[in-house]
Amino acid sequence: MKEIKGLLQVKKIIALLLTMVFCILSIKQKVSSQEFLTVFSLVIAFYFGQSTARQSSKNG
């Protein structure tokens, strides 16, 4: 149950939806591969950066 609750956080939902939308647009060739990589990298970097910052503040 705790895992499901973790997946339902707003930031995670937004990141997953944005990733899915850009994957679909990339497959349909509505966005270039460079645009896809830029947006995807930004989302992933932000998400993991926030997660790492939270974990380090809890541990320290």
- Using alpha carbons, select from 46, 41, 47 the residue that is nearest to residue 22: 41
Start-to-end C-alpha separation, the chain: 27
User: Does the predicted TM-score (pTM) go above 0.85?
Assistant: no
| E strand intervals along 1-60 | none
Pick from 11-15, 17-21, 41-45: least confident: 11-15
pLDDT in tens, 15-36: 788 888 888 988 898 988 888 8
Q: Please check whether residue 59 is in contact with residue 50, taking contact to mean a CB–CB distance below 8 angstroms.
A: no
Q: Where are the domains of the chain?
A: 2-57
CA 52 to CA 57: how far, in whole Å?
Answer: 9
